[in-house]
Chains A and B, each alone.
Chain A
Amino acid sequence: MSTTKAKVERPASVRKGGGRFDWRWAGLAALLAAAVYAPFQLVPFHVFQLTMVLVYAVALLGLNLLVGHAGQISLGHGAFFAIGAYTCAILLDRFDLPYPLTLPLAAAVAFVLGLALGVPAMRLRGLYLALVTLAIAIFLVPLLKRFEELTGGSMGLTLAKPTPPAWSGLAEDQWLYFLTLAVAVAAFLLAASLLRSRVGRALHALRDNEIAAEVMGVRLSFYKTLAFAWSAMFAGAAGCVYTWVIGFVSPDSFTVNLSITLLAGLVVGGLGSLSGPVLGGLFVMFVPSISQDINDAAPGVIFGLLIIAVMYVAPTGLAGLAGRLIKKIPRKE
C-alpha cells in the first residue's frame, strides 16, 4: 500500500507524466545547490534579503496548506507570525533560552493558539471566515502594546542575534542564512509529507467538495481546524526565525498589512503548489523594494499594480506560469 500511495499523492503540477518528474528533482537539486552557494558570492545585504525570502517562504508554506490545499481563507496569518516572533523574543529576553530551543517552542505556541482560534473560526466560511481571521490580525497589535512588561510595548524588544560557532568559519549574515535555509528545507519536507499522506487527501477532498468529502467519512471541522493549526505553526516558526534574523521585534512590524501581504504573496506565487510559497516569498521580499526604485512617491501603487498584472498574466500564480512555460520547451521524445 505504502509504495502505491507515494505514487499517487503528488501536487497537480507534476501529475501529468513521468518525464517531467525527473526534471523536477534535478531542478530542486540545482536550486538547493545554488542556495548553498549563493551566500558565498553575495554581499551581506543581499544575503540578508535572501534570508528574508526564506522566512516568508516558510510562512507561506503554512498559509498554502490552509488556503491552497484545504480551501479556507485567512486574513490574519500575520498574527501567528507575530506570535512566533514574540514567543521567541520573550524566551530569549526573559528566560535566556539558547536560541535553537525557541524554534520548537514558538511553533508549539502558534500551533496551540491556532487550534484554539481555529475551533470557532473554522465553523465559518467564506467572507465570515475572512472577517474573523482579519479580526485576529487587528486585535493583536494593541494587545502587544498593552502587555508592556512582557513585550516591551511600542518600543519592542531588541535581542542579540545568534552568533556563528567558530568551527563554521561563517560570517553572521551567512550563519543566519544557513539556519533559515535549514528551517525552510525542514518545513518544505514536512509540508510535502503531510500532503502526501491520507490527511493531505482529506484536505484536498474537503477543498474540492465538502459534501462529497463528508459523506465519505472526512470529518470536516476536524481537518479544517487541524489545517488552521498547522498553518499557524508554520507561520509561528517563520516568525521565530524572523526574530533570530532581525534581532528586534515591535508591534508595528506585524500590522494587518503583513497578513494581507502574505496572502497576496501566496496567491501571486501560486496556490496549492509546492514552489508557490518560494516564489511568493521572492515577491513579498523584492517587489516592494523594486517598486520603490521605480517610483519613490508611490511604492504601494506599483506593488498593487504588479499584483493586478500578475493576476491577469498568470491567474494560477507564478508557479502556474512557470509550469506553462516549461511545457512550451520542446523536448526529445
Chain B
Amino acid sequence: MSEDLVVEDLHAGYGDARVLHGVRFTVRQGEVCAILGPNGAGKTTLLRALSGVIRARGTITLGGTSLTGRSPDAVARLGVAHVPEGRGTFMPLTVEENLRLGAYVRRGPSVEEDLERIHTYFPVLKKRLKQAAGSLSGGEQQMLALGRALMLRPRVLLLDEPSLGLAPLVTRELFRIVQAINTEERTTVVVVEQNAHLALGIAQQAHVLETGRIVLSGTAAEIRADEQVAQSYLGYRV
C-alpha cells in the first residue's frame, strides 16, 4: 500500500500561540491512523491544519498533491472530509438538508445513491430525515456528522474526538461503523481520540502527540504495548 497522506515539518497555531512544532507522520491508503494525546496537545489543531481551516507552514500532501496553503473548500474538493470537534451540526436544518450539504461540492444523481448508502450505515437517520438536526441526541448527531462527511465521497476522513460526550455503548457502535466504512469504502481515516482503547481498536498505525510534537509512533499493537502510553492513556500498567 502506498503512502497517501504525508505530513512533514508542520507548524501551525492561532495568532501568536504556536501549537504545532514540526509534526511529521504519514498515513497509507485505506488505513486507519489514530492520533492520541492529552488535552492541549494540539490534536484538534492538527486536523484543522490538515483541512485548511487554519493556516499552516510545512508540507501536507495527499497522493502527491500539496494541500498546504489551500483554503478549506479547496481541500474539501480534493476529497478530505473533516468531522469537526463538536460535530458541527446545522441545528435548524433538517437531517436530510445536513446530509445534502455534505455533498455540497458534488452534484448529480450520485447524491441520491449516497443518501441511500448513508441510510444503510445509519438506519436511525433515515427515520429522522425531516426532523430538525438540533433535535437529535448527541450520538445521533455524531452519526449525522459522520454520514454528512461520507456524502463528500471522501478519500480521507478526519475525525475529531468522535467519542466526546457520548455514552460508552454509543461510542462503541460509532467506532464499529467507522471501521465498517474504512473496510467497505477503502476510506483512509485519521482519528483524533482521547479514548485510546477504542481508537487503537480500529487503527493500524498510531501516533502520540504531546505539546505539539509527535513523541511516539508505531503500529497500534506497539503503541498499546508501550508502558508509557499504557500509564498515561489506557489507565493501567502492562
Contacts and interface: CB of A to CB of B under 8 A. Distances in A.
Nearest to B92: A12
Given A15-B94, A202-B104, A215-B81, 15 more contacts: A1-B108, A1-B109, A8-B94, A12-B132, A198-B104, A205-B101, A208-B89, A209-B90, A211-B88, A212-B89, A213-B101, A216-B101, A216-B104, A217-B76, A217-B152
Contact of A218 (B73, B84, B132): B73
Nearest to B47: A215
A9 B90 CA distance: 14
B53 interface: yes
B140 interface: no
A219 interface: yes
Interface in A173-228: 198, 201-202, 204-205, 208-209, 211-219
A155 to B, nearest CB: 48
A201 B100 contact: yes
Nearest to B94: A15
Contacts of A41: none
B4 interface: no
Contacts of A8: 94, 96-97, 100
Given A8-B100, A215-B72, A216-B152, A204 B51 contact: no
Interface of A: 1, 4, 8-9, 12, 15, 198, 201-202, 204-205, 208-209, 211-219
B71 A219 contact: yes
A1 B76 contact: no
Given A215-B53, A218-B104, A208 B92 contact: yes
Given A8-B100, A211-B84, A217 B93 contact: no
Nearest to A11: B92
Contacts of A217: 72-73, 76-77, 104-105, 152
Contacts of B100: 8, 201
A216 B105 contact: yes
Nearest to A216: B104
Given A8-B97, A15-B132, A201-B104, A214 B53 contact: yes
Nearest to A16: B130
* Closest 8 A/B residue pairs (Cβ): A212-B88, A217-B105, A217-B76, A215-B82, A208-B90, A214-B72, A217-B73, A219-B73
Contacts of B73: 214, 217-219
Contacts of A216: 76, 81, 101-102, 104-105, 148, 152
A8 B96 CA distance: 8
A9 B148 CA distance: 17
B111 interface: yes
17 contacts: A1-B112, A4-B112, A8-B97, A12-B132, A15-B94, A201-B97, A201-B100, A202-B104, A204-B90, A205-B90, A209-B88, A209-B90, A212-B89, A215-B53, A215-B81, A216-B102, A217-B73
Nearest to B88: A212
Contacts of A218: 73, 101, 104
Q: Which of A4, A12, A209 has the most CB of B within 10 A?
A: A209
B215 interface: no
A2 to B, nearest CB: 11
B71 A204 contact: no
B190 to A, nearest CB: 13
A303 to B, nearest CB: 30
B180 interface: no
Contacts of B53: 211, 214-215
A215 B101 CA distance: 11
Nearest to B54: A211
A217 B76 CA distance: 5
A97 to B, nearest CB: 41
A230 to B, nearest CB: 19
Contacts of A204: 90, 92-93, 97
Q: Which of A201, A209, A214, A219 has the most CB of B within 10 A?
A: A214
Q: Which of A205, A211, A215, A219 has the most CB of B within 10 A?
A: A215
Nearest to B108: A1
Contacts of B112: 1, 4
A213 B91 CA distance: 12
A204 to B, nearest CB: 6
A205 B94 CA distance: 11
Nearest to A5: B100
Q: Which of B71, B90, B112, B152 has the most CB of A within 10 A?
A: B90
Contacts of A219: 71, 73
A202 B73 CA distance: 12
Contacts of A212: 84, 87-90
Contacts of B109: 1
A93 to B, nearest CB: 45
A9 B112 CA distance: 15
Contacts of B76: 214-217
A123 B91 CA distance: 24
